Chain A
Amino acid sequence: MTATNQAPASGRTRQYGPVALVLLVAALMLATTANAELMIRVTKGTGEAVPVAVVPFAESGDLPAGDDISTIVRNNLEMTGEFTPLSAERMLSLPSSGDDVFFRDWRMLGQRYLLVGNVTREGDRVRARYELFDVNSEQRMLGETSTTSVNNLRTLAHHISDKVYEALTGEPGVFSTRLAYVTLDEHEGSPRYRLQISDVDGRRASVRLESREPIMSPAWSPDGKQLAYVSFESGRPEIFVHELATGKRTVVASYPGLNSAPDWSPDGRSLLVTLSRSGNAEIYRLDLDSRSLTRLTDHWGIDTEGEWHPDGDGLAFTSDRSGGPQIYIKDSERASPRRVTFGSRYNARPRFSPDGEYIYYVHQRDSGFHIARTELDSGDEQVLTRTGSDESPSIAPNGRMLIYATRQGNDNVLTVISTNGGAAYTLPAANGDVRDPAWSPVLR
């Protein structure tokens, strides 16, 4: 926080006495002669999550148990790390519409925003009406009525979450997006790999592929309708493209040696893949229509885990050409790679932020593996997780959240954190280990 026309701090005054004096005099003259309106500059906020009250929606009619819309919304907001929802027990009243709201109550509770609503069952459909208020301004920011089928309450809850999130933050919510991940458990004495897709809160998971052989590295197509992944189902790694709506699967890369780490180009027409067909792991662009390959790296070291830059120009990848794995960026397909991670023996699995300003990766420090990010312009590195054996980061399409796999006790679990280092939210435990999460794009 600073103020225009304000005198420098006293310590500075001592250090730069004459200059400060001149500035002070000038400031006073400016303040008195120009009589300009005082302006106070505020450059930072509390740094805390926004207090928001999501009042349990009033319900009428027979509604499915366990799919309470307001609870889902509250959890979603909390998962972002940007909000701290007020627990229902502390609420002084439970209004279900704006007419019942006494803003003074919510101000007293220190709440900044208030979501109220009601849900009514009408035959096979459910109608939800909700309103969002700014407690201090006492103004309604949002008001909507939506209907959906009785079985689709979660979808409606995520939709409301997205709307509220966008109203409060100015950015689209990602609560209607999906997660893809691979679970491993044992089934009938054999390992069972399952490719699953769920809501971002881990609920409504569905298995799309099951195999006794490893399934790895799921990657969403830009339209969210296909997944590419590596499956060892044939006994050797191959890259498949899987159409989610139909379940149709296509092998797109089955070259001798390694076929791994697919990543969709932003235009959806090609994949970055890592192949060792030349004897050494290199990164290629695989055109999906023509199946033609363009080799993008050429080094005796291992080059793998390529990811397109969000604007489709250039790529990041992992290479051990300097000894250990480090992140490199090629600003275009023909450009020379430049290393962007330093200060650690191990930096791998690069993922761009949607705006291309940051690169996220797995970072080893103090014998532990963490998720870290580097701001590409400044080179500033920030370690985001503390859990110790973190891997496979994937960034939400709005860039505000990040999901990664980590150990929790004896299990591998998925955890969501805010990209600014906020609160973590662990998805409900699935059966067995969970690995390789991939956050979908915004689904249309």
Chain B
Amino acid sequence: MSTPDDKTKGVSAETGGEEAVASFKGVDEKEQGEGPGGFIVLFFIIGFVASLIIGWVIFPKLLYSQKRQPVDFNHVLHVETVDNGCESCHIFREDGSYAGVPKLAQCADCHQEVQGDSPQEKIFVEEYVAKEKEVPWLVYSKQPDCVFFSHTVHVKLAGMDCVTCHGPIGESTSLKPYEENRLTGYSRDIWGKSMTGIKKNSWDRMKMDDCAECHEKETGRKSSVQTDKDACFVCHK
């Protein structure tokens, strides 16, 4: 590996006996010149991959805490027995407001006593119905305080299906874990599962842009002076 130049340096500096040592020194110096460059690239790649993993895999896991619902509700079982689909339990009130998750009294109409052999029903009847305690359901679609959302206008007037925003929850036999954002306290269903922001279904995300996108497409209203889209005071309060 020693170059003629190294050798001459060595020879000129030292006597013949020490030539090998001198030339060895020269080789060493040469390698140091190349080596750090390679290491930098290697460390960069390791660091880059590590930050990708931290940012895209570990951080999202840390950001959301997983919570189980107090009772594992089976939608399929209930949809089969009721006549009016989702609206049998998720009712509209006469003033046009929407009840959302049913209250205990509504469930207790049927579940005064344990009817089946499901252990979840047993928990429900013993822990909540018997003690007359409301079930602290975790609402996946809970929006911030500044949002005004009317189910009436979307369902009754525009004739939208529940599935469009809520997904096929009616076909689920078990409730998925509620992933709560540790910083904001909102459900992950608002921000969406996908870290890349790609939306496959209309119910994947429930952020303002998703509402605005559909409003622009479906209503075509341009009542806002600022944005030339639908006005702010349509969904805000």
The answer to whether A and B come from one shared complex is no
B interface residues, Cβ below 8 angstroms from A? none
